[in-house]
Amino acid sequence: MFLQNAIEFLPILLKGAIVTIEITVCSFVLSSVLGLVLALLKLSRNRALSTLASTVINLIRGLPIIVQLFYIYFVLPDLGIQLSAFQAGVVGLGVAYSAYQAENFRAGIEAIDHGQIEAAQALGMRAGAIMRRVVLPQAFKIALPPYGNTLVMMLKDSSVASTITVAEITREGQLIASSTFQNMTVFTLVAIVYLVLSLPLMFGVNRLGKRLGARKSQ
């Protein structure tokens, strides 16, 4: 019975899996861009910019993702900003995780030996060039393990987008379960699909972390 239902339900869930991957990738890119900007602002010598970035990061981290999604999808239209459910999901997850990405990048940047920056300055490099050529490449390597973990968390948290009718895995599972009443079968399949998507990512992140750790110890 389970196998028969699985054969019937899996094609629908796999369509939802494609949407899950799309929303995860788009949100990850957005969160990375916003996170890098927030990290650079927080590390700025300008106290006003640093305070502003810290305030934004704390506000974002203090709000549940689902509340941010609801605000973007249901409140922004009242202000004249209309987004589709998918767009709202991408923006909501991207903004929510930008605060965590900012901390990943900040930690990576602060871990760079200041002597390298001083050496680059002695060579006559400008601040922008030092950041692009010296600081950010090394900071990205340092931040790579937590950066990868963030991708795994975003993949799982993309299920929150089901609350605003984004047709990802969880939403498709809810619709199937409500029409067939096969709750155990449906949500077992949903769990399996999530594991199939997330476990390779988790394995890759762990391998990457061990490899980087081995290089540092050499």
pLDDT in tens, 88-133: 999 999 999 999 999 988 888 888 877 887 788 787 788 778 887 7
- Estimate to the nearest angstrom the gap between the alpha carbon of 79 and the chain centroid: 26
pLDDT recorded at residue 1: 75
What CATH number belongs to 2-217? 1.10.3720.10
Phi-psi region of 165 (alpha: psi -120 to 50; beta: other; left: phi over 0): left
pLDDT recorded at residue 215: 57
pLDDT recorded at residue 51: 95
Query: Using CA atoms, how far apart are residues 190 and 154, in angstroms rounded to an integer?
Result: 16
Residues 6+ apart with CB under 8 A from 24: 93, 151, 154, 155, 158
pLDDT recorded at residue 149: 85
Query: In order along the chain (218 residues), what is the average pLDDT of each group of 10 residues?
Result: 84 94 95 94 91 95 94 94 94 95 88 80 78 80 81 92 91 92 92 93 79 58
Q: What percent of the chain has pLDDT over 70?
A: 96
Residues 6+ apart with CB under 8 A from 188: 2
For the chain, the domains span 2-217
